[in-house]
Structure 1
């Protein structure tokens, strides 16, 4: 009987963690190299759709996560009002007509953080839970 109660308590605790256990679920924020100024929603959309490649005289290098990334899906929905299929189709057409290339794809949020810290003009999105002091948040 005691083992059954202990098992029930352990299973209840594990169930309470839910599917998001260990995964950040905060807002998606954009971080930028210290050289990048604050950006508004329209600027973020223009950058990630290739319509703007410079802010002031600074060449902007947008960073993107892989298409299967849940964080990328959240970013596309929140900041571009698009889904993955629409975003991929948009860039397929844009490349075909010679209007640019999609943002540089990186493997992980950790790589976004590393590149943003070291590459002038770089911007990328991360989960708000991954922010650390000193990061340049350019859009929230």
Structure 2
């Protein structure tokens, strides 16, 4: 009975800890973007190379956070429906066949926010706590 209790406590601790790790992720664009929101599917299409422009027709340049970032992993799982290894394999295949170039790895929250704030063509994602009025939030991961 004590073993079951300890297993239950351990399982609860793991579940609550894993939930605490997930931060709120905000997808951001330049404040002058001519739209206020995109759907998860539209964002996914940009980050998977299936679309090269925003729905309003202006060119889009997606920016990833650096490989290994928890924010990147959370974004790729929620938006692109891919684990880190699936995302790498997806882009490796497209690069190898000459059918695409992955979004540039652009650093952490601060670096991505600075790049997006300076270029109306860029779209990126950051921890929601990093957002300020230099960028516009167009989507938040549920």
Which structure 1 residue ranges, 5 or more long, are not aligned? Answer: 1-18
RMSD between aligned alpha carbons?
Answer: 2.1
- The 2-side partners of 1:96 and 1:124 are apart by 25
Contact 1:25 1:127 in 2 (8 A): no
Where in structure 2 are the equivalents of 1:126-137 lying within 5 Å? 126-133=126-133, 135-137=135-137
> Residues 39-84 of structure 1: CA distance to partner in whole angstroms, max 9, x if unpaired?
1111011000000001233110100011111111111111111111
> Residues 72-124 of structure 1: CA distance to partner in whole angstroms, max 9, x if unpaired?
11111111111110000000111122211000111211110101111121110
Which structure 2 residue ranges, 5 or more long, are not aligned? Answer: 1-16
Give the C-alpha shift of residue 26 in structure 1. 2.7
TM-score, with normalisation over the residues of structure 2? 0.76
Q: Tell me the SS of whatever aligns to 2:27.
A: strand
- The 2-side partners of 1:133 and 1:121 are apart by 17
Contact 1:35 1:121 in 2 (8 A): no
Q: Tell me the SS of whatever aligns to 1:67.
A: coil
Number of residue pairs matched?
A: 120
TM-score, with normalisation over the residues of structure 1? 0.77
- The 1-side partners of 2:132 and 2:75 are apart by 19
Larger radius of gyration: 1
Matching residue of 1:119: 119
